[in-house]
Amino acid sequence: MQFKNRLFWSLIAAGGLVVLLGLFAAHLMEEHGHIITGMNNQIVWGLPHVFAIFMIVAASGVLNVASIGSVFGKAVYKARAPLSGLLSIALLAGGLTVLMLDLGRPDRVMVAATNYNPTSVFAWNVLLYSGLFGLVSVYLWTMMEQRMNPWSRPAGLAVFVWRFILTTGTGLIFAFLVARQAYGSALLPPMFIVISFAWGLAVFHVAQSAIYAWSGKEHAPDIVKRMGNLLGIFVMAALYFVAAYHLTNLYFAHQSGFERFILIDGGLYPRLFWWGYGLLGNLLPLVLIFHPSLGKTRSVVAASLLVILGGFALLYVFVIGGQAYPLSIFPGYAASSSFGDGQIAQYSPSLPEFLLGFGGLGIAFLITTASVRVLDFMPHDKPHIAD
Amino acid sequence: MSNINVQRRQFLKTSVGLAAVAVAPGMLLFEAAHGQSAAVSSKVRWGMLIDTANCTDGCNDCVAACNKGNGLAGGLNSGGLSPTDSQWMRKVELKDMRGGRTLSLPMMCQHCEHPPCVDVCPTGASFKRADGIVLVDRHRCIGCRYCMMACPYKARSFVHEPLHDQNPDVPRGKGTVESCTMCVQRIDRGQQPACAEACPNKAILFGNLNDPESEIARRIRTVASVQVRADLGLNTAIRYQGL
Q: Among candidates A63, A133, A30, A100, which has minimal Cα distance to A360?
A: A100
Q: Is A112 in contact with B145 (Cβ distance < 8 A)? A: no
Does the CB of A374 have a partner CB in chain B at under 8 Å? no
Q: What separation in angstroms does the CA of B47 have from each of A219, B25, B73, B209, B227?
A: 69, 38, 26, 6, 12
Residue A336: pLDDT band with limits 50, 70, 90? very high
CB nearest to B124's CB, from A108, A117, A176: A117
Give the sign of the dihedral formed by CA B31, CA B37, CA B88, CA A335: negative
Contacts of residue B158 in chain A, CB cutoff 8 Å?
Answer: 34, 39, 41, 44, 104
- Quick one: B25 and B51 in the same domain? no
Q: How many domains does chain B have?
A: 2
Chain B, residues 150-189, CB within 8 A of chain A, namely: 150-154, 156-162, 173-177
- Quick one: B113 and B94 in the same domain? yes
Q: Is B152 in contact with A45 (Cβ distance < 8 A)? A: no
**A228 CB burial (10 A radius; 0-12, 13-18, 19+):** buried
Chain B, residues 213-242, CB within 8 A of chain A, namely: 228-229, 232
- Quick one: B120 and B10 in the same domain? no
Mean pLDDT value of segment B7-12 = 85
pLDDT score at A354: 97
- Quick one: B215 and B156 in the same domain? yes
Mutual orientation of helices A47-61 and A152-175 as an angle, nearest 10°? 150
Chain B, residues 42-101, CB within 8 A of chain A, namely: 75, 81-87, 90-98
Q: Among candidates B40, B62, B32, B41, which has minimal Cα distance to B185?
A: B40
- Quick one: B73 and B126 in the same domain? yes
Q: Over chain A, what is the mean pLDDT?
A: 92
Q: Among candidates B215, B221, B216, B213, which has minimal Cα distance to B237?
A: B216
pLDDT score at A278: 95
Residue A162 pLDDT greater than 70, yes or no: yes
Asked whether the beta carbons of A167 and A188 are under 8 A apart, the reply is no
Instruction: Provide CB contacts within 8 A for B21, sequence distance 6+.
Output: none
Encode pLDDT of A268-298 as tens digits. Answer: 999 999 999 999 999 999 999 998 888 688 8
Question: How many contacts does A have with B, using Cβ atoms within 8 A?
Answer: 172
Q: Is B87 in contact with A177 (Cβ distance < 8 A)? A: no
- Quick one: B54 and B29 in the same domain? no
User: Which of the pair, B160 or B28, is modelled with greater confidence?
Assistant: B160
What CATH number is associated with residue B165?
A: 3.30.70.20
pLDDT score at A273: 97
Mean pLDDT value of segment B145-158 = 96
Q: What is the 3-state secondary structure (H, E, C) of A289-344?
A: HHCCCCCCHHHHHHHHHHHHHHHHHHHHHHHHHHHHCCCCCCCCEEEEECCCCCCC
Encode pLDDT of A89-135 as tens digits. Answer: 999 999 999 999 999 999 998 998 889 999 999 999 999 999 999 99
- Reduce the DSSP state of residue A242 to 3 states and report it: helix
Contacts of residue B149 in chain A, CB cutoff 8 Å?
Answer: 44-45, 177, 180, 183, 323
Number of continuous H segments (helices) and E segments (strands) in chain A? 16, 1
Instruction: Provide CB contacts within 8 A for A226, sequence distance 6+.
Output: A76
pLDDT score at B31: 61
pLDDT score at B33: 61
Q: What separation in angstroms does the CA of B242 have from each of B53, B102, B104?
A: 6, 11, 10
Q: Among candidates B193, B49, B198, B66, which has minimal Cα distance to A338?
A: B66
- Quick one: B214 and B142 in the same domain? yes
Chain A, residues 167-196, CB within 8 A of chain B, namely: 173, 176-180, 183
User: At A205, which helix (H) or strand (E)?
Assistant: helix A188-214
Residue A383 pLDDT greater than 80, yes or no: no
Contacts of residue B140 in chain A, CB cutoff 8 Å?
Answer: 108, 111, 115
Instruction: Provide CB contacts within 8 A for A281, sequence distance 6+.
Output: A235, A306, A307, A309, A310, A311, A313, A314
CB nearest to B83's CB, from A30, A41, A335: A41
d(CA B115, CA B109): 10
Asked whether the beta carbons of B8 and B198 are under 8 A apart, the reply is no
Encode pLDDT of A170-219 as tens digits. Answer: 999 999 998 899 998 999 999 999 999 999 999 999 999 999 888 888 88
This model of the complex carries an ipTM of 0.91
Q: Of the ranges A47-61, A230-244, B72-86, B98-112, which one carries the lowest mean pLDDT score?
A: B72-86
Asked whether the beta carbons of A295 and A301 are under 8 A apart, the reply is no
Residue A387: pLDDT band with limits 50, 70, 90? low
- Quick one: B140 and B118 in the same domain? yes
DSSP letters along chain B, please?
--HHHHHHHHHHHHHHHHHHHHHHHHHHHHHHHH---PPP-TT--EEEEEEGGGS-TT--HHHHHHHHHHT--TTTTTTS--TTS--SEEEEEEEETTT--EEEEEEE----SS-HHHHH-SSS-EEE-TTS-EEE-TTT-----HHHHH-TT---EE--S---S--TTS---TTSEE----SHHHHTTTPPPHHHHH-TT--EEEEETT-TTSHHHHHHHHS-EE-TTGGG----SEEEE--
- In the DSSP assignment, the letter for residue A219 is P
CB nearest to B175's CB, from A104, A330, A334: A104
Strand-pair category, B225-226 with B238-241 = antiparallel
DSSP letters along A20-82, please?
HHHHHHHHHHHHH-GGGSS--SSS-S-HHHHHHHHHHHHHHHTTHHHHHHHTT--HHHHTTHH
Does the CB of A44 have a partner CB in chain B at under 8 Å? yes
Q: Is A329 in contact with B124 (Cβ distance < 8 A)? A: no
Checking B183-190 for CB contacts under 8 A at 24+ apart, the result is B183/B66, B183/B69, B183/B70, B184/B129, B184/B133, B184/B135, B186/B69, B187/B46, B187/B133, B188/B35, B188/B36, B188/B40, B189/B35
Does the CB of A327 have a partner CB in chain B at under 8 Å? yes
Mean pLDDT value of segment A340-362 = 96
Q: What is the 3-state secondary structure (H, E, C) of A330-377?
A: CCCEEEEECCCCCCCCCCCCCHHHHHHHHHHHHHHHHHHHHHHHHCCC
pLDDT score at A222: 83
Q: Is B123 in contact with A121 (Cβ distance < 8 A)? A: no
Answer left, alpha or beta for residue B235, where phi above 0 means left and psi between -120 and 50 means alpha.
left
Tell me the shortest Cα–Cα distance from A78 to chain B, in angstroms. Answer: 37
Q: Residue B11's domain spans which residues?
A: 1-37
Q: Is B93 in contact with A337 (Cβ distance < 8 A)? A: yes
- Quick one: B91 and B6 in the same domain? no
Q: CA angle B117-B138-A33, nearest 5°?
A: 95
Instruction: Provide CB contacts within 8 A for B191, sequence distance 6+.
Output: B183, B197
Q: Is B90 in contact with A341 (Cβ distance < 8 A)? A: yes
Asked whether the beta carbons of A83 and A227 are under 8 A apart, the reply is no
- In the DSSP assignment, the letter for residue A1 is -
Q: Is A111 in contact with B140 (Cβ distance < 8 A)? A: yes
Asked whether the beta carbons of B116 and A178 are under 8 A apart, the reply is yes
Tell me the shortest Cα–Cα distance from A180 to chain B, in angstroms. Answer: 7
Candidate CATH numbers 1.25.40.10, 3.40.50.10800, 1.20.1630.10, 3.40.50.1370; the one for domain A5-374 = 1.20.1630.10
Residue B130: pLDDT band with limits 50, 70, 90? very high
Count the helix, strand and coil residues of chain A and give each as a percent rounded to the nearest 5: 75, 0, 25
